[in-house]
């Protein structure tokens, strides 16, 4: 087998590259998760829905800041909210968001000095 046999032509690559609208939406989504407090909130919500009081205690931020970050995540479509009596209960917008957060943290965990790096590529 020649090396050229493994090379995809430009047309094949163009079919696999997402369109501009998808790339823009993904950029906004990833930008929302680029904030440490918002990423911590999303990581907490990956384990199940929680109210603002529980999230405030979990991330160690002031309640107004947590509420503001949750509002941004909600506007970005990453978080949903429902009323439970007087409480507002937050959840991730779907399992795909939870997988994104989990994979990002898992990948980052292997880049922290002193932690083993994964040698396998997830499938």
Kindly write down the DSSP assignment for every residue of the chain, as one continuous string: --GGGGPPPHHHHHHHSPPHHHHHHHHHHHHHHTSHHHHHHHHHHTT--EEHHHHHHHHT--HHHHHHHHHHHHHTTSEEEEEETTEEEEEES-HHHHHHHHHHHHHHHTTSTTSPPP-SPP-
The tally of domains found in the chain comes to: 1
Specify whether the backbone of 96 is left (phi greater than 0), alpha (psi in -120 to 50) or beta: alpha
Establish if 107 belongs to a structural domain: yes
Q: Per the domain annotation, does 42 fall within a domain?
A: yes
pLDDT at 70: 97
Give me the pLDDT at residue 123, please.
38
pTM of the model: 0.78
- The pLDDT score that the predictor gives to residue 116 is 63
For residue 84, give both structure tokens. Answer: 């439970």
**pLDDT < 70 stretches in the chain:** 1-10, 13-14, 115-123
Domain hosting 106: range is: 4-111
Q: What is the CATH number of the domain that holds 43?
A: 1.10.10.10
Q: Is there a domain that residue 23 lies in?
A: yes
In a domain, 120, yes or no: no
């Amino acid at each position: 087998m020649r090396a050229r046999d493994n090379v995809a032509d430009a047309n094949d690559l163009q079919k696999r590259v997402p369109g501009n609208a998808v790339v823009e939406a993904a950029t906004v989504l990833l930008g929302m998760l680029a904030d440490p407090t918002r990423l911590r909130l999303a990581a907490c919500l990956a384990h199940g829905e929680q109210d603002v009081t529980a999230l405030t205690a979990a991330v160690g931020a002031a309640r107004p800041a947590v509420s503001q970050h949750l509002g941004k995540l909600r506007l970005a479509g990453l978080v949903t909210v429902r009323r439970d009596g007087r409480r507002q209960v937050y959840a991730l917008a779907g399992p795909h968001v939870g997988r994104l957060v989990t994979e990002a943290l898992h990948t980052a965990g292997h880049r922290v000095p002193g932690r083993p790096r994964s040698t396998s590529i997830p499938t």
